């Protein structure tokens, strides 16, 4: 499956390279777009859960890397207000 690294800039200016095992993330995030922390967590959750399910369908097991990435996003998001803005810098 084609993987995607999506880079995001958090409200404090820190940049993270995030992992998706599937291009499904491209249906939820767009390069250059701003998202509230709340919306980013919701969109990432939906996309990464779908990506993990695609891995399950293809290989017979869920993608723990996608699940770990989602956990990391959720934990990091707790440091910000839900209306703070996150920028999607790139999807590669």
Can you give the length of the chain in residues? 92
The separation between CA 18 and the C-alpha centre of its own chain, rounded to angstroms, equals: 6
pLDDT at 17: 98
Rounded to the nearest 5 degrees, what angle is found at the Cα of 38, between the Cα atoms of 33 and 10? 55
Which pLDDT band holds residue 62 (cuts at 50, 70, 90)?
Answer: confident
1 pLDDT above the threshold of 90:
no
Burial (CB < 10 A; 0-12, 13-18, 19+), residue 71, is exposed
Write the pLDDT tens digit of every residue in 75-87. Answer: 999 999 999 999 9
């Amino acid at each position: 499956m084609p993987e995607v690294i999506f880079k995001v800039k958090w409200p404090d200016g820190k940049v993270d390279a995030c992992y998706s095992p599937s291009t499904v993330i491209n249906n939820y995030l767009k390069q250059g777009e701003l998202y509230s922390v709340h919306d980013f967590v919701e969109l990432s959750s939906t996309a990464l859960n779908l990506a993990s399910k695609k891995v399950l369908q293809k290989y017979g097991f869920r993608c723990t890397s996608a699940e770990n990435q989602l956990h990391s996003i959720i934990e990091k998001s707790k440091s910000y207000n839900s209306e703070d803005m996150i920028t999607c810098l790139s999807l590669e």
